[in-house]
Structure 1
Amino acid sequence: MRFFTRFALKNPVAIWIIAILLILGGIFSATQLQEELMPSISIPVLAVITTYPGASPEAVAKDVTDPLEKALRGVQNVSDVISSSVQNVSEIQLQLSMSASTNKVAQDVQNTINQVVLPSTATKPSVQQFSFSSSPILYFTVSSQSATPAELRTTVNNTIVPALQGISGVANVQTDGAAPEQVQIIFHPSALQKHNLTEATVLQYLQADNVSMPVGTATIDQKQYPAHLSGQFTTLASINNIPIPITPSPTAGISSGFSQIGKAIGALGSGEGQLGQAVGGLGKAVGGIGKAVGGLGQAVSALGQSQGQLAQGLGLVMAENQILTNMQSIQGQIYGATLSLTQQMILPKAQQDPAKIAQLSAMITQLQMADQGLAAELKAIAPKSAGTSAQHGQGAGTNAASSLSALSALSKLGSASTPSGSLAQNSGKSSLTTGSSLSSSTKTSSTMATVPLSAVATVQIAPPTDASINRTNGQTSVLISVVKTENSNTVSLAATVQSKMNSLASSLPYGLHVTTLYDASGMIKASISGLIREAILGAIFAALVILLFLRNLKTTIIAVISIPISLLTAIILLNVFGVTLNIMTLGGMAVATGRVVDDSIVVIENIFRSWRKGYGFGKKFVLKATGEVGQAIT
Structure 2
Amino acid sequence: MKIPEFSVNRRVTTAMLAMILVVLGFIAFTSLGLDFFPDIDFPTVSVVTTYSGASSEDIENTITRPLEQIINTISRVKEVNSMTIEGASVIMVEFEWGTNLDFAAQDIRDQVGLYRNFIPEEASDPLVVKFNLGEFPIIFGGITADRPTLELKKIIEDEVAPRLERIEGVAAAQVFSMDTREILVAVDKVALESLSISMDQILMALGMENLNLPAGRITERHSEYLLRTVGEFQSLDDIRNTIIGSTQTGQLVYLTDVAEVRDTLKDTRLISRTQGEKGVFYFISKRSGANTVTTAQAVNRELDRIKATLPSDIKFFPFMDQAEMIQRVIRRTGNNALVGGILAIFFIFVFLRDWRPTLTIALAIPLSVITTFIAFYLAGYTINLLTLGGLALGIGMLVDNAVVVIENVFRHMEEGKKREEAAKKGASEVGMAITASTLTTIAVFFPMIFAQGITGRLTRGLALAIAFSLLASLFVALTIVPMVASVLFKANSQQGSGEKSKRRVQFEKVRNSYRRSLHWTLKHRALVLGGILGLLALSFAIVPFLGTEFMPAMDREMIILKVKMPVGTSLEETNRVVTMVEKLMAQEPEVVNVSVQVGSQAEENPADMAGGMSTTGSHEGLLWVGLVPLRERELSDVEVMEKIRRKLPKLKDVKFESLDIGQAMMGGATAPVEIKIFGEEIDTLKEIGDAIVERIRDVEGLRDVTHSLAEGKPEYHITIEREKASRMGLKVSQIGNAIQAATLGKVATRFREGNEEVDIRVRFQEKFRDSLEDIRNIPIMTPFNTMVTLGEVATITRGEGPIRINRENQARVITVTGNIAGRDLGSVVRDIQGRIAGVERGLPAGYFTEFGGQFEQMQEAFVIIAGAFALATLLVYMIMASQFESFRHPFVIMFTIPLAIVGVILALLVSGRPVSLPVLIGFIMLGGIAVNNGIVMVDYINQLKRRGVDKKEAILQASAVRLRPVLITAFTTILGMMPMALSVSEGAEMRAPMAITVVGGLVATTFLTLFVIPIIYSLFDKVKFKEKAA
TM-score range, shorter chain: 0.5 to 0.7
Query: Deviation string for 1:135-183 (max 9, x for gaps)?
Result: 1111222233x44545434423443334434444333334444533433
What is the deviation of 1:521?
Answer: 0.9
Is residue 142 of structure 1 aligned with residue 133 of structure 2? Answer: no
Query: Deviation string for 1:417-453 (max 9, x for gaps)?
Result: 8xxxxxxxxxxxxxxxxxxxxxxxxxxxxxxx64332
My pick for the range that moved more, 537-546 or 496-505, is 537-546
Classify 1:114/1:574 alpha carbon distance in 2 versus 1 (closer, same or farther; 3 Å): farther
**TM-score when normalising by structure 1:** 0.58
- The answer as to whether partners of 1:48 and 1:92 remain within 8 angstroms in 2 is yes
Paired residue for 2:425, among 613, 617, 620? Answer: 620
Is residue 38 of structure 1 aligned with residue 37 of structure 2? Answer: yes
- The answer as to whether partners of 2:180 and 2:266 remain within 8 angstroms in 1 is yes
Instruction: Letter of the 1:182 partner, please give it.
Output: E
Is residue 194 of structure 1 aligned with residue 194 of structure 2? Answer: yes
- The answer as to whether partners of 1:527 and 1:586 remain within 8 angstroms in 2 is no
Aligned to 2:256: 454
**TM-score when normalising by structure 2:** 0.38
Aligned to 2:293: 491
Aligned to 1:170: 170
Aligned to 1:481: 283
Residues of 2 paired with 1:508 and 1:223: CA distance?
49
Secondary structure at the counterpart of residue 41 of structure 1: coil
Residues of 2 paired with 1:626 and 1:572: CA distance?
24
Aligned to 1:567: 369
What is the deviation of 1:609?
Answer: 3.5
What is the deviation of 1:604?
Answer: 2.2
Secondary structure at the counterpart of residue 268 of structure 2: coil
Aligned to 2:133: 132
Aligned to 1:508: 310
Query: Deviation string for 1:10-56 (max 9, x for gaps)?
Result: 65444333322222222222232222211122323222234568988
- The answer as to whether partners of 1:216 and 1:228 remain within 8 angstroms in 2 is yes
Classify 1:72/1:607 alpha carbon distance in 2 versus 1 (closer, same or farther; 3 Å): same
State the identity as a percent: 27
Aligned to 2:268: 466
Aligned to 1:517: 319
- The answer as to whether partners of 2:344 and 2:396 remain within 8 angstroms in 1 is no
Aligned to 2:185: 185
My pick for the range that moved more, 569-578 or 172-181, is 172-181
Residues of 2 paired with 1:516 and 1:574: CA distance?
32
Instruction: Letter of the 1:33 partner, please give it.
Output: L
Instruction: Letter of the 2:143 partner, please give it.
Output: V
Classify 1:111/1:599 alpha carbon distance in 2 versus 1 (closer, same or farther; 3 Å): same
- The answer as to whether partners of 2:71 and 2:111 remain within 8 angstroms in 1 is yes
Q: Which has the larger radius of gyration?
A: 1
Residues of 2 paired with 1:544 and 1:631: CA distance?
27
- The answer as to whether partners of 1:539 and 1:559 remain within 8 angstroms in 2 is no
Aligned to 1:246: 245
Higher relative CO (Cα under 8 Å, sequence separation at least 6) belongs to 1
Residues of 2 paired with 1:138 and 1:486: CA distance?
15
- The answer as to whether partners of 2:201 and 2:245 remain within 8 angstroms in 1 is no
Aligned to 1:110: 109
Residues of 2 paired with 1:24 and 1:201: CA distance?
77
- The answer as to whether partners of 1:607 and 1:626 remain within 8 angstroms in 2 is no
Aligned to 2:392: 590
What is the deviation of 1:213?
Answer: 7.1
Residues of 1 paired with 2:380 and 2:347: CA distance?
37
| CA RMSD after TM alignment | 4.0
- The answer as to whether partners of 1:534 and 1:593 remain within 8 angstroms in 2 is no
Secondary structure at the counterpart of residue 526 of structure 1: helix
- The answer as to whether partners of 2:181 and 2:263 remain within 8 angstroms in 1 is yes
Instruction: Letter of the 2:239 partner, please give it.
Output: I
Aligned to 1:558: 360
Residues of 2 paired with 1:221 and 1:85: CA distance?
63
Instruction: Letter of the 1:179 partner, please give it.
Output: D
Instruction: Letter of the 1:568 partner, please give it.
Output: I
Residues of 2 paired with 1:576 and 1:525: CA distance?
23
Classify 1:213/1:180 alpha carbon distance in 2 versus 1 (closer, same or farther; 3 Å): farther
Instruction: Letter of the 2:331 partner, please give it.
Output: S
Aligned to 1:526: 328
Aligned to 1:152: 152
Residues of 1 paired with 2:348 and 2:226: CA distance?
79
Secondary structure at the counterpart of residue 75 of structure 1: coil
Aligned to 1:348: none
What is the deviation of 1:510?
Answer: 3.8
Classify 1:117/1:527 alpha carbon distance in 2 versus 1 (closer, same or farther; 3 Å): closer
What is the deviation of 1:517?
Answer: 1.8
- The answer as to whether partners of 1:51 and 1:123 remain within 8 angstroms in 2 is yes
What is the deviation of 1:61?
Answer: 6.2
Query: Deviation string for 1:531-564 (max 9, x for gaps)?
Result: 4434544554455444554454443433333222
- The answer as to whether partners of 2:149 and 2:177 remain within 8 angstroms in 1 is no
Classify 1:450/1:591 alpha carbon distance in 2 versus 1 (closer, same or farther; 3 Å): farther
Residues of 1 paired with 2:269 and 2:201: CA distance?
29
Alignment of 1:315-330 (within 5 A): none
Secondary structure at the counterpart of residue 201 of structure 1: helix
- The answer as to whether partners of 2:37 and 2:385 remain within 8 angstroms in 1 is yes
Classify 1:94/1:544 alpha carbon distance in 2 versus 1 (closer, same or farther; 3 Å): closer
- The answer as to whether partners of 2:405 and 2:426 remain within 8 angstroms in 1 is no
- The answer as to whether partners of 1:63 and 1:118 remain within 8 angstroms in 2 is no
Residues of 1 paired with 2:231 and 2:6: CA distance?
79
Query: Deviation string for 1:290-323 (max 9, x for gaps)?
Result: xxxxxxxxxxxxxxxxxxxxxxxxxxxxxxxxxx
Gaps of 5+ in 1: 253-415, 418-448
Residues of 2 paired with 1:153 and 1:574: CA distance?
42
Query: Deviation string for 1:323-382 (max 9, x for gaps)?
Result: xxxxxxxxxxxxxxxxxxxxxxxxxxxxxxxxxxxxxxxxxxxxxxxxxxxxxxxxxxxx
Alignment of 1:55-454 (within 5 A): 68-83=67-82, 90-98=89-97, 100-116=99-115, 118=117, 125-144=126-145, 146-177=146-177, 179-210=179-210, 235-241=235-241, 243-246=242-245, 252=248, 450-454=252-256
Query: Deviation string for 1:49-95 (max 9, x for gaps)?
Result: 34568988788667755654443222111134345566775543323
Is residue 19 of structure 1 aligned with residue 18 of structure 2? Answer: yes
Instruction: Letter of the 1:78 partner, please give it.
Output: V
Aligned to 1:413: none
- The answer as to whether partners of 1:542 and 1:559 remain within 8 angstroms in 2 is no
What is the deviation of 1:485?
Answer: 2.3
Residues of 2 paired with 1:214 and 1:554: CA distance?
88
Aligned residues: 434
Instruction: Letter of the 2:267 partner, please give it.
Output: T
What is the deviation of 1:111?
Answer: 3.9
Classify 1:161/1:465 alpha carbon distance in 2 versus 1 (closer, same or farther; 3 Å): farther
Residues of 1 paired with 2:224 and 2:379: CA distance?
51
Residues of 1 paired with 2:375 and 2:312: CA distance?
51
Aligned to 1:312: none
Classify 1:158/1:534 alpha carbon distance in 2 versus 1 (closer, same or farther; 3 Å): same
